[in-house]
Amino acid sequence: MALLAAVPFGARADNTHPTRGEFLALAKQGWVFDLHSSRHRRDPDFPPVQFNSSEVAMGEICVIGEPANRLSERVISSFVGLLGDIYGRRLSVTYANRSISSCPTRPRVYVRLYSGRPPSALFNADLRQMDRDFDIRFPPQWREPVYSPAQANGFFGHEGAIAHLLVRQAPHTNLTPLQRDFYTSILTEELFQVVSFGADILKFDRDAPFRSKLQEHPVNLRRVSWQSDQFMTGLLSSNPNGLCGFDVFMLHALAGSGLETVNSAELIMFIETNFDVLKAAAEKTVANPAYEMLLDNSCLALPD
The tally of CA atoms less than 13 A away on the side-chain side of residue 274 is 19
Nearest to 300 by CA among 244, 258, 224, 261: 244
Contact status, residue 292 vs residue 81, Cβ threshold 8 Å: no
pTM, to two decimals: 0.88
Contact status, residue 302 vs residue 249, Cβ threshold 8 Å: yes
For residue 59, the model assigns a pLDDT of: 73
What confidence tens digit (pLDDT) does each residue in 274-298 have?
999 999 999 999 999 999 999 999 9
The whole-angstrom separation of Cα 153 and Cα 142 is 14
Number of helical H runs and strand E runs in the chain: 9, 7
For residue 67, the model assigns a pLDDT of: 95
Contact status, residue 61 vs residue 107, Cβ threshold 8 Å: yes
The whole-angstrom separation of Cα 99 and Cα 112 is 9
Residues 243-282 as b or e (16 or more Cβ within 10 Å = b): bbbbbbbbbbbbbbbebeebbeeebbebbeeebeebbebb
The whole-angstrom separation of Cα 278 and Cα 8 is 33
120-130: average pLDDT: 95
Residue 52 confidence class, pLDDT cut points 50, 70, 90 = low
- Cα angle: 244, vertex 3, 168; to 5 degrees: 60
